[in-house]
Structure 1
Amino acid sequence: MIKKSLMAALAGISMLAAVPAMAQGIGHSFFMRGSIVGADAQGTIVCIGKSDGAEVGQTLEVYRVVTHPGPSKGAGPTYHRQLVGHVTVDHIYDDHFAHVAVKDGTPAKHDIVELRRSN
């Protein structure tokens, strides 16, 4: 029974790998979305686009994942998010990517960007 389940799971994974367009959507949705993915001559590129509701002029908060050295004390995580700055969307490339200008702080590649929520 376990062998059948394992074979079915491997077949499903193989099917996803065979469809690049679908795989790109999965990568954006689960792995990259909300990340600073790099920089070009004009500035910083983030993985947030039209499909995420991005609009020119929005301010995004930038967080860095900070790890705590040493053994974990209990079941809690050994990391936290630290606010490191803000960026403003100044150009949206497509459904998945936008260009931002650094408003303040020290954003870097792999940091997490989130839309500031007003409560």
Structure 2
Amino acid sequence: MPGVVSANEGGFRHNVLMRGQVLEKQDGTLVVCVGQADGAQVGQVLDVIRHKRRIRHSRAGGPRYRRENVGQVRIVELFDSHYAEAEVISGSPKVNDTVELIRP
């Protein structure tokens, strides 16, 4: 299993087990860039995150982007060590969104 990455965002700390990108979308099916090498398994539910540019950012040089949770997907098939097919459970994921599995 891949190493765990700790992230601290706005005071909220979470452990990311797996992170990838939505590469393709067709109807309710996605191709995501996570696979066996990342520890992906059929049935796992991943959060879908969209990085949005802030309209205004702090003069103190704060972050120019914010994370927005836009849905969830479930892995239905592993293609190989790098790619998987996922079905949309909720929301409206788009190409280039990030998918990630978080350890609670």
Same fold (TM over 0.5): yes
Q: CA deviation at 1:69?
A: 2.3
Give deviations 1:46-88, integer Å, cap 9, x for gaps: 0000000000000000000011124652121111110000000
Q: CA deviation at 1:40?
A: 4.6
Residue 60 (1) aligns with residue 46 (2):
yes
Residue 86 (1) aligns with residue 77 (2):
no
- More RCO (CA 8 Å, sep 6+): 2
Instruction: Decide which structure has greater helix share.
Output: 1
CA RMSD of aligned residues (A): 1.8
Report the Cα distance in structure 2 between the residues aligned to 1:93 and 1:46, rounded to whole angstroms.
10
**Identity, % of aligned positions:** 38
Higher gyration radius (CA): 1
Give deviations 1:3-43, integer Å, cap 9, x for gaps: xxxxxxxxxxxxxxxxxxxxxxxxxxxxxx61001135772
Question: What's the TM-score once normalised by structure 2's chain length?
Answer: 0.75
Instruction: Decide which structure has greater strand share.
Output: 2
Report the Cα distance in structure 2 between the residues aligned to 1:93 and 1:66, rounded to whole angstroms.
30
1:52 aligned partner, one-letter code: D
Change (3 A) 1:42 1:111: closer
5+ residue gaps, structure 2: 1-18
5+ residue gaps, structure 1: 1-32
Q: Does the 8 A contact of 1:58 with 1:88 survive in 2?
A: yes
Q: Does the 8 A contact of 2:57 with 2:63 survive in 1?
A: no
Could you list the structure 1 runs, at least 4 aligned residues long, displaced by more than 6 angstroms after superposition: none
Aligned length in residues: 86
Report the Cα distance in structure 1 between the residues aligned to 2:61 and 2:41, rounded to whole angstroms.
39
